[in-house]
Amino acid sequence: MAFAAIHPEAGRIDATLPDLGRGLTWDQVHKTRPRVALRCPECSHGVHAKVSARKLRYFAHDPGRPADCAWLNESLEHHLLKLELATAIRAADWHAELEVRAPDGTWRADVLASSHDGTQRVAWEAQLSPITAEDIQERTERYWAEGIGVCWVSPGGKAPWIGNVPSIRVQEPRDGQPWTVVDGPAAFHFEHGTWIAVDDPELTAFIRWVLHGQTIPHRVRPRYRRIWYPTSEGYRRRSLIWTTSRHVDTETRHEAMRQRQDERKRQREEQERQAEQQRQTEAEARRQEEERQREAQRQEQERQRKIQAAEDAARWAEQRRQREIEAEQARQRREVEERQRQEQARAAEEQRRRQEREEELAAGRWWAQLSPAQVDQLRDAVAEPLWKREATRVEFDPLGVTVDSAYGIAIHVRRRLHGILRPSPASLHRLPPVVPVYVRNVREAHELVSTGNIDPVRVVHFDLPDHEQMSLM
Ligand SMILES: [Zn+2]
């Protein structure tokens, strides 16, 4: 079914208009005899005027119609929606043409709204059947390329392109309510920072707003594409909505605010990042400084340790040198002492030899004073009294004069030392202790005692003459 047809004389006629748009009456095309040769504007097949049971005027294809005519399979519902759109456009004091196609066939509008001066056109598409996103986008851009606005209208709940192209979803009349727009227009709420769907305006009012430029299609900024629907209390994603320029400005203002916030946040984050970087840099610098100080301290300690070690080594070397010097001095001292000791020993030995020599010479002189007879005389003087008194035999040392007997002659009685005969005055220090000594006379006794080297009580003397008595010769 269709609302438009081509009249053989009047041209294109419209069943929705009282004068069919060409100053004709419905009766001039409906059930006339002979029949008016009306044609389908789309496929040029023959059509005839009809009235539905609900008094709806339309054109129907004659029998033998082509299967591919665009209008052929449209539903009544589709037609009623187109009629509603056309009625609302006319109520806004614009022209409305149904089922219009471009002269070159690039587009075909369900309802084309035109301003009186013909400068503005808006195509209203009642889209009931499924259509791909690519198709609807392409058809939209084709309108825009011709300078024609467009609004896709869906009466159903399932139209995935709602919000992708300029579009609305409408609700058919019920409970005495007129046609309403339930999806498409939205208002921006600054305090919420979001678009909120406008609550079900009447379709007639919406179309008037659009045609008068009060409501415009708007591509929502990416940040705001989750739109709040109060009636369903949920969000839906929409990139193209209908709204007023005031709300567009509000969105722009909000976006600017958000960008300022973003910028402030970015600056804050950048400041924090720089602060963190600064902290890290400072921490690294501190760490390096501490490391440097530790290294410097370590090197200083090492230096001090080396200095200490060098000082210790020098001190030890000095001490060793001192000990060596002292040892050398001690050695030299010992050598000197040893030399002195040897010298003293040599001197003492020399002294002893000289002493012995002198004693020997003195003893020689001592004994030279006596003749052998005088010696015998003295021996007898010692021996005779003992023999006479005690019958004791006196034995004179057969060695004669000996050094051990102080250059005198040892006298034994019964194998025991009895005394020393005439020791030399120069050698009295050699006398064995205690035993008496025997000399010739008081002069010799005096000579011994005058040395001071013998106790006078030990000296026994006789009265023998110093010179040989002639009588004894
Ligand atoms: Zn046709």
Query: What pLDDT, in 10s, does the model give residues 108-141?
Result: 899 999 999 999 999 999 988 888 989 999 999 9
* Alpha carbon of 12 to ligand 1 centroid (Å): 14
**Alpha-carbon gap, residue 38 to 7, rounded angstroms:** 5
Render pLDDT for 184-210 as a digit per residue (tens, 0 to 9): 999 999 999 999 999 889 999 999 999
Q: What percent of the chain stands above pLDDT 90?
A: 63
Higher pLDDT, 392 or 412: 412
* Alpha carbon of 49 to ligand 1 centroid (Å): 13
* Alpha carbon of 188 to ligand 1 centroid (Å): 44
**Alpha-carbon gap, residue 20 to 26, rounded angstroms:** 7
* Alpha carbon of 58 to ligand 1 centroid (Å): 13
* Alpha carbon of 32 to ligand 1 centroid (Å): 21
* Alpha carbon of 78 to ligand 1 centroid (Å): 16
* Alpha carbon of 46 to ligand 1 centroid (Å): 8
Q: Is the separation of the CB atoms in 57 and 29 below 8 Å?
A: no
Q: Is the separation of the CB atoms in 13 and 49 below 8 Å?
A: no
List the structure tokens of 126. 């009642």
Q: What percent of the chain stands above pLDDT 70?
A: 98
Nearest Cα neighbor of 133 from 158, 160, 151, 163 is 160
* Alpha carbon of 1 to ligand 1 centroid (Å): 9
Give the single-character DSSP code of 405. G
Helical pair 76-91 and 203-211, crossing angle rounded to 10 deg: 50
* Alpha carbon of 73 to ligand 1 centroid (Å): 10
Spans of all domains in the chain: 1-73, 75-243, 370-461
pLDDT for position 73: 65
Kindly list the strands in the beta sheet with 180-183, ordered across the sheet, starting from the edge strand earlier in the chain.
95-101, 108-114, 121-126, 149-154, 167-171, 180-183
Nearest Cα neighbor of 41 from 3, 79, 84, 94 is 3
Render pLDDT for 267-324 as a digit per residue (tens, 0 to 9): 999 999 999 999 999 999 999 999 999 999 999 999 999 999 999 999 999 999 999 9
* Alpha carbon of 237 to ligand 1 centroid (Å): 38
Residue 403 above 60 pLDDT? Answer: yes
* Alpha carbon of 71 to ligand 1 centroid (Å): 6
* Alpha carbon of 21 to ligand 1 centroid (Å): 20
The H or E element that residue 262 is part of is helix 245-368
The H or E element that residue 457 is part of is none
Beta strands in 249-403 (DSSP E): 394-402
Beta strand 186-189 with 194-197: parallel, antiparallel or unpaired? antiparallel
* Alpha carbon of 80 to ligand 1 centroid (Å): 18
List the structure tokens of 189. 């709420």
pLDDT for position 472: 46
For residue 95, give the amino acid letter: H
List the structure tokens of 238. 């929409």
* Alpha carbon of 132 to ligand 1 centroid (Å): 24
* Alpha carbon of 124 to ligand 1 centroid (Å): 20
Render pLDDT for 323-340 as a digit per residue (tens, 0 to 9): 999 999 999 989 898 888
* Alpha carbon of 39 to ligand 1 centroid (Å): 8
